[in-house]
């Protein structure tokens, strides 16, 4: 996720001045418009959008840390080494030395 998602939601969904597709009576029902604008408590994305954006950024940072950790584990392990591949006898059939592409 990135910052474009909440900005798009804000720009298209609500519009900068309240004219987005989520608040257009010809497209949305009056009940849905009331949920977003009148019925208390209002959604957190309306009341405090900065909190949602900060949460999305923290979630993205958390995902990056987890994936980096997993990548480090996989690089140190020999699970994905060519010697352990079930088709290791076939892995040498196509090599960089044998494949030659001639230019026209």
What is the arithmetic mean of pLDDT over 28-33? 88
Do residues 33 and 25 touch, judged by C-beta distance below 8 A? yes
Among 4-13, 21-30, 88-97, where is mean pLDDT lowest? 88-97
Distance CA 34, CA 20 (A): 14
- CB of 14 closer than 8 Å to CB of 20: yes
Model pLDDT, residue 71: 84
Q: Percent of the chain, pLDDT > 90?
A: 12
Per residue in 55-90, pLDDT tens? 888 998 999 999 988 887 777 666 656 565 555 555
């Amino acid at each position: 996720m990135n910052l474009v998602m909440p900005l798009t939601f804000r720009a298209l969904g609500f519009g900068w001045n309240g004219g987005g597709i989520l608040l257009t009576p010809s497209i949305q029902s009056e009940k849905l418009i009331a949920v977003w604008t009148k019925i208390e408590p209002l959604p957190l994305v309306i009341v405090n959008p900065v909190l949602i954006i900060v949460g999305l950024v923290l979630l993205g940072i958390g995902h990056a840390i987890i994936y980096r950790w997993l990548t480090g584990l996989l690089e140190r392990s020999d699970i994905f080494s060519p010697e352990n591949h079930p088709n290791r006898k076939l892995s040498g059939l196509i090599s960089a030395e044998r494949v030659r592409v001639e230019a026209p």
